[in-house]
Amino acid sequence: MAGSPLLDDLRAALGTAAVLTDPDLLAGYRHDEADLCASGLPAVVVRPTGTADVAAAVRVAAAHGVPVIPQGARTGLAGGANAIDGAVVLSTTAMDRILEIDPVNRIAVLQPGVVNAALAGEVAKYGLRYPPDPGSWESSTIGGNVATNAGGMCCVKYGVTTEYVLGLEVVLASGEVLRTGRRTAKGVAGYDLTRLFVGSEGTLGVITEITVSLRPAPEESLTLVAVFGSIAEAGAAVAEISAQGLSPSLLELLDQTHLRAIEAYRPMGLRTDARALLLAAVDTGTRAPADLDRLAEVCTAAGADEVFAASDAVEAAALLQARRLAHPAMERYAAQAFPGGNGGLFLDDVAVPRTALAALLDGVERIAAEQDVLIGVVGHAGDGNMHPLIVVDRANPDSVARSQRAFDAIMELALSLGGTCTGEHGVGLLKRDWLAREIGPVGIQVHHAIKNALDPTGLFNPGKVI
């Protein structure tokens, strides 16, 4: 395909350096980090540096009838960025400039390829903070976070990405550039097109610029760890924390499988004999010690075997880092669990009302026993968003089948408890059928109507979400 009309036109529009065709490079853009999701080999990867390049690439692809797969850092966990054979992958990672930081109006304007941690570091210089912090914050991009409406560990108090996106610049399937939203703190003029694109997973347009709101940096936080003899007791503690009106800035749960995987991956003295661990933090300044004491009282009353506070900021940071290592630690654990490194992870991402968290956790244990699979559970307990990770032997069809049944059973359980099939990772390829179950036929019709209005030829990310 070296001299194909598509490639010739892309090179003419973007320049040769921005158009990648080396087979080894193309293979690296096949998929995100979701396991067991189909992917294909793209015909070409383009790496634009600005909106005009994106619009040009979209127009060329549309003229040749070739699908466009927008990609960020490919840290997603639902197959939403997976390529299909012969597609144009449009990677936004070279669009990595912070265009403006306005400390008075507390906003930042940036390109989609800016890494979450890089934005956090820059705004911190002004005494500000961008709160959404997914576990992959050191590598995931803000564009990808917006496309999936990413969450993170501080959502329990500060909310998810959509609550911080004020405006967007988006290239549509026609190649036209749409600007949505505004820079003001308030504004209700017209339909909320910004929120339409947040969480759309690259199916409606390519995001090329993002305006986000910022918050004042929090005061120094205090961190607590509660160790439980059962995962259900930990779930009950979470429900009681909410019932008492407490507002931790972080409330995370790790089960014994994760504790052992993390300790094997990076030893740090975790209690691997515990069935569950709750990690909590408060950032309420002078009230923090009293708030932490109240959290400790609730955990003790719920049955915690041990409750202790981090002795200093260094120990608190180490505990937070342990939580961030959960996914890579489990990937290594799974790879080593079966011969030939064939172990993989089927990753669920369900959210339920806080009052249903204990029932969800009990149900996951029951499903693991029924299907004879190992399931580790980790997640944002404070907002009911849990990630059951099913360990699977990719080379064993029976193991794959049992894992799929466990995955589906967890999805069904979450919906029956009044929950959702995805709390923060998105639908992608992994959960299309479950989205249909969740929102019903009328909801699917509305989704199709929106897709057809903005992308009538199905140019963007075909096969994803709906």
- Percent of all residues in the chain with a pLDDT value above 70, rounded to a whole number: 99
Please determine, looking at this structure, whether the domain spanning 219-324 carries the CATH number 3.30.70.2190.
yes
Q: Do the first three CATH levels of 5-91 and 327-458 match, i.e. the same topology?
A: no
Could you give the CA distance from residue 142 to residue 450 in angstroms, rounded to a whole number?
24
Using the predicted structure, report yes or no on whether residue 313 has a pLDDT greater than 90: no
Q: Name the maximum alpha-carbon separation found in the chain.
A: 70
Residue 456 has pLDDT above 80, yes or no: yes
What confidence score (pLDDT) does residue 375 get? 97
Class of domain 327-458: alpha beta
Q: Is the pLDDT of residue 156 over 80?
A: yes
Query: Is residue 320 very low, low, confident or very high in pLDDT (cuts 50, 70, 90)?
Result: confident
**pLDDT value for 219:** 85
Report pLDDT for 1. Answer: 55
Q: Is the CB of residue 169 less than 8 Å from the CB of residue 156?
A: no
From the candidate CATH numbers 1.10.3470.10, 3.40.640.10, 3.30.70.260, 3.30.465.10, the one assigned to the domain spanning 98-216: 3.30.465.10
| Each residue's pLDDT tens digit, 24-42 | 999 999 999 998 899 999 9
Query: What is the average per-residue pLDDT within 13-22?
Result: 97
Which comes out higher in pLDDT, residue 386 or 153?
A: 386
Least confident range from 11-15, 185-189, 376-380: namely: 185-189
> What mean pLDDT is predicted for residues 12-32?
97
Section 179-192 average pLDDT: 94
Report whether pLDDT(2) > 70. no
Integer CA distances (angstroms), 35 to 31, 394, 400, in order:
9, 10, 11
Q: Is the pLDDT of residue 76 over 80?
A: yes
The pLDDT, as a whole number, for residue 173 is: 98
Mean pLDDT throughout 359-387? 96
Residue 372 above 60 pLDDT? Answer: yes
| Ranges of each domain in the chain | 5-91, 98-216, 219-324, 327-458
- Across the chain, mean pLDDT equals 95
Q: How far apart are CA 159 and CA 419, in angstroms?
A: 17
The CATH topology of domain 5-91 is 3.30.43
User: pLDDT tier at 152 (50, 70, 90 boundaries)?
Assistant: confident
